[in-house]
Amino acid sequence: MGLIFFGLIIIIIGIVGSKSGGQLARYKTLIVIGGIVVMVIGGITAAVRQVPAGHVGVQRLFGEVQKDKVLYEGLNFVNPLVDVIEMSVRTENYTMAAVSDEGTKRGDDAIRVLSGDGLEVVIDMTVLYKIIPTDAPRIYQKLGEAFEQKFIRPITRTKIRENAVDYNAIDLYSTMRKPFEAAIVKNIEDEFAKEGFLLEQLLIRKIDLPTSVKQSIESKITAVQEAQRMEYVLQKEKQEAERQRVKARGIADAQKILSEGLSAKVLQFEQIKVQKELVNSPNAKIILLGTGQKAPPFIIGN
C-alpha cells in the first residue's frame, strides 16, 4: 500500500514540476513513468498476501470487515486496498489458577464458587479452545483481538458458578467431580459455538475446599482406614485360630487312630521283631525276654 502512495506522489511531483519550468520539465515523462512503475509494483505487492500456517486472514476495507471473505494459510490474491488481520486458528489454552505464575492472568485468578451447602470452593481450570476459521471475521468484528478477556474468561467463570450450586462441596471434591465436569463442558461448549469458538477440552486442575472441610474429610478417611486395618487384624486372628483348631484336630485324630491300633498282640508282635533283631546283632550280649508283667524273663547271653 505504501508503494502505491509513493508512486502517486512521484507522478504529482513530475506533473507539478513540469508546469513551473526548470530542470523538472525536461524529465517530466521519466518522472511520471517512474511513478507509474512504482505504483504498479506497489499494487502487485499489496494484492498478494501471505497467511502463515495455523492462521486465517480477516479482510478489512476502509474499516469495514469483509465477513464472507476469509484468507487461508499460504498466498492469497486480494484487493490491494484491504488490510489483512491475522488470527490464529490453532488450539489455545486459557488457564485460571490460584498460583500467580501458573495462570494466563497474573495474580490469583482461580474461580471461587459457592457450593450447594453454602461453602466456598476454589477451582483451578484450563480451557482448551480454538477459533472456527469461517467465524473469524465475525469474532473480530464483535470481540476484536482481545476476545479472551471479553468472552472466554467471563463465560467460563459464569457457567462454572451456575453449575456449582447444584453440588455439595464434598461431592465436588470426590464422587460428583466427573458429573460436574460433564455439565459445565456442555454449557460452555454451547456458548462457545454461538460465538464461533470450538471447545476442545476443559481441564479441572484442582478443587480446593475450606480448611474445616478438609480436616473433616481427613478425619473421616483416617477413621475408615483404621476400621479397615482392624478388620484385617481380626480376620487374620480368625484365620490363625482356625488353623490352630485344624492342627489340634489332626493331632487328636492321629492319636486316636494310633491308640486304637495298638492292641496287646500287636505290641507283642512288635516286641518279638525287635528282640529277634537284637539276637542276630553281633553286639548283643544279654537279652531279657518276657511275655508280660508276671512272666519271668529269660536271659540269653554268652
What pLDDT digit, counting tens, does each position of 9-24 carry? 766 666 666 565 555 5
Confidence at residue 198, expressed as pLDDT on a 0 to 100 scale: 95
Q: How far is CA 239 from CA 243, 244, 249, in A?
A: 6, 9, 15
Does 81 have pLDDT greater than 70?
A: yes
Percent of the chain with pLDDT over 70: 70
Domain residues of the chain, as ranges? 2-88, 92-209, 215-274
What pLDDT digit, counting tens, does each position of 37-54 carry? 666 666 677 778 888 999
CA distance 58 to 48: 14
Q: Which DSSP string corresponds to the chain?
A: -HHHHHHHHHHHHHHHHHHT-SHHHHTHHHHHHHHHHHHHHHHHHHHEEEE-TTEEEEEEETTEEEEEEEEPSEEEE--TT-EEEEEE-S-EEEEE-SSTTTSSSSS--PEEEE-TTS-EEEEEEEEEEEE-GGGHHHHHHHHTT-HIIIIIHHHHHHHHHHHHTTS-HHHHHTTTHHHHHHHHHHHHHHHHHHHTEEEEEEEEEEEE--HHHHHHHHHHHHHHHHHHHHHHHHHHHHHHHHHHHHHHHHHHHHHHHHHHH--HHHHHHHHHHHHHHHHHSTT---EEE-SSSSSPPEEE--
The three cell numbers of residue 158 are: 459464569
Does this model's pTM top 0.75? My answer is no
What pLDDT digit, counting tens, does each position of 60-73 carry? 988 888 888 899 98
CA distance 72 to 50: 9
Q: Categorize the per-residue pLDDT at 273 as very low, low, confident or very high, splitting at 50, 70 and 90.
A: confident
Confidence at residue 257, expressed as pLDDT on a 0 to 100 scale: 72
If one counts every other C-beta atom within 10 angstroms of the C-beta of residue 184, the result is 20
Q: Categorize the per-residue pLDDT at 205 as very low, low, confident or very high, splitting at 50, 70 and 90.
A: confident
CA distance 16 to 12: 6
Confidence at residue 133, expressed as pLDDT on a 0 to 100 scale: 93
Does 89 have pLDDT greater than 90?
A: yes
Q: Which has more pLDDT, 77 or 42?
A: 77
What pLDDT digit, counting tens, does each position of 169-191 carry? 877 777 788 888 888 999 999 99
Name, in order, each residue with C-beta under 8 angstroms of 288's C-beta and a sequence gap of 6 or more.
297, 298, 299
Confidence at residue 23, expressed as pLDDT on a 0 to 100 scale: 58
If one counts every other C-beta atom within 10 angstroms of the C-beta of residue 123, the result is 23
Fold of 92-209: Tetrahydropterin Synthase; Chain A (3.30.479)
Rg (CA), the chain: 49
Residue keyed to cell 463442558:
185
The three cell numbers of residue 189 are: 461448549
Q: Buried (b) or exposed (e) across 198-210, using 16+ Cβ within 10 A?
A: ebeebebeebbbe
